[in-house]
Amino acid sequence: MTGSEPSPILAGLSCRCPRCGQGRLFRGYLKVAPRCERCDLDLAFADSGDGPAIFIIFIVGFLVVALAAITSSLVSLHPLVHLAIWLPVTLALCLALLPPFKGVMIALQYRHGAEEGRPL
């Protein structure tokens, strides 16, 4: 790691290039750009797989269940009201967290030189 490389966590959370920390990592919602527009890093290595989704499922699931349980203990709501509240909250949290989590996974792959496994 050189002193000029950004933190992989900060670069990932801001959806920026893992090498320069300035160029955009995505050219769409989750589509990884082919190259960094600033430092010309080839982003073909970037394959986060299902990793970000798994982390988000656990984090959002725990958070929403905890909030729903707290709400239920404070206020008696019909089950359909709970659905009307917690389904959109779950969807919004998942959609909001997916790009930054994918960015962190890609930045960590870059930092640690992770590649697909190769047969020996």
Residues 70-118: tens digit of each pLDDT: 999 999 999 999 999 999 999 999 999 999 999 999 999 998 887 666 5
Cα angle value 85/88/92 (rounded, 5°): 135
CA dihedral 5, 16, 59, 91 (to 10 degrees): 180
Residue 120: pLDDT over 60? no
Does residue 53 surpass a pLDDT of 90? yes
